[in-house]
Structure 1
Amino acid sequence: MTASPHPESDRVEFVRAVLEWLDGRETRADAVDASLELLANERRRLFLQVMRTYGEALTLPDAAEEVAVRETGTSVAELSPEHVANVYISLYHDHMPRLIDAGLLEYDQERDLVTPVVVR
């Protein structure tokens, strides 16, 4: 990610856009709070972006590798195995369970396969 020359104005613009989007919707305050809490962590956002980009089941190791690439802005060949392992562990133990509980992902532990939940 590239640093913005005016992060405060970006933040203000983002908050206004979210408030405008929420305006007129019948969204419960606790749902908004829970959603913003899920999105508060960059690694979780990257994980969701990876799953959305592919739009299909991925093995958790593949998803972790792609998250690590996006975090570092480097190629797969430049990633250290330790960094990918750390990403995998944090996805498995922290981020993925939260996203499963939120109904955004499903996980097949036997196959180590993560699937985005498609809401229609």
Structure 2
Amino acid sequence: MTTSDSDFDSPGFVLAMLDWLERREESPAAVDESLELLADRRRRLLLEVMRTYGEELTLPDAAEEVAVRETGRKVTELSAERVANVYISLYHDHMPRLVEADLIEYDQERDLVIPLEMR
């Protein structure tokens, strides 16, 4: 279910997250690192795409799917430039962070993104 920004209860969400975190035993540094990784929408979308498909995807296909989810448009309505921009940002910024955090794997030789569940 998607809600508009005006319907979102930010204080309620933050308080619920704090309650959830209190019941966990993660270190403050681990929580900070996790929240930093999830702070960027494009990274969240890439993780969502990989979980949805549950299989290896080429980075161009993953970038295309992220662009679709970002814009809410059909793939046929996206410009090649838009998809290329998503690809470049995933390749240079977001994927290295997710690989370093051991959330995905990347096979550069085959240009494949591998979800956590397949490793």
1:72-92 CA deviation, whole Å, 9 max, x = no partner? 100000000000000000000
Equivalent position SS for 2:97: helix
RMSD: 1.5
Secondary structure at 1:103's aligned position in 2?
Answer: coil
Counterpart in the other structure of 1:66: 65
How far residue 11 of structure 1 moved from its aligned partner, in angstroms, is 1.3
Match of 1:4 in 2: 5
Change (3 A) 1:68 1:98: same
Q: Which residue of 2 aligns with 1:83?
A: 82
Unpaired segments of 5 or more residues in structure 1?
none
Q: Distance in 2 between matches of 1:52 and 1:93?
A: 21
Offset of residue 2 of structure 1:
5.0
Unaligned runs of 5+ in 2: none
Q: Distance in 1 between matches of 2:116 and 2:6?
A: 36
Structure 1 Cα separation of the partners of residues 41 and 6 of structure 2: 20
Task: Provide the C-alpha distance between the structure 2 equivalents of 1:18 and 1:2, rounded to a whole number of angstroms.
Answer: 18
Letter in 2 for 1:12: P
User: Identity over the aligned pairs, expressed in percent?
Assistant: 68
Residue correspondence of structure 1 range 23-62 to structure 2 within 5 A: 23-62=22-61
Letter of the structure 2 residue corresponding to residue 4 of structure 1: D
TM-score scaled by structure 2?
A: 0.92
How far residue 5 of structure 1 moved from its aligned partner, in angstroms, is 2.2
Q: Deviations over 1:18-43 (max 9, x none)?
A: 11221222110000001111111111
Taking the aligned partners of 1:118 and 1:6, their CA distance within structure 2 comes to: 34
Aligned residues: 117
Structure 1, residues 58-84: CA drift from partner, whole Å, max 9, x if none?
110000000000001000000000000
Separation in 2, partners of 1:52, 1:60: 15
Q: Which amino acid aligns with 2:4?
A: A
TM-score, length-normalised on structure 1? 0.91
